Homo-oligomer: A and B are copies of this chain.
């Protein structure tokens, strides 16, 4: 199942993206640890969308949030049309410094199996994948 949302590139769009995410994740099959996985995916989606809206955002443009839901995996993809960045050079937060930011990519990498990022002619394309045991 494929679900796509396109929203204005403004922080207020979180009010639309959040209930969309909640509704899609309710479609997850009855897998082990379902509640925990839903909580983790909700967090990851929020980090990814917030980054796209804050860093990858040019007023007047949009961002896209897509979910591909299979019986044993989910792919979350977020497209923004900003200037992009280099995912590989993002340094993980120093957990003894109690930083106020810089946790987003680290959270995504901690929770998801695959985190990839690609700059294309049609936007910057962040792909997040997580699989689970099929029941």
Contacts and interface: CB of A to CB of B under 8 A. Distances in A.
Interface residue tally on A, bucketed by range: 20 to 34
As for how many copies of this chain the complex holds, the number is 2
A106 interface: no
Nearest to A6: B4
B6 A3 contact: yes
Nearest to A16: B23
Contact of A23 (B3, B6, B20, B26): B20
Interface in A1-34: 1-8, 12, 15-16, 18-20, 22-24, 26-27
Interface of A: 1-8, 12, 15-16, 18-20, 22-24, 26-27, 62
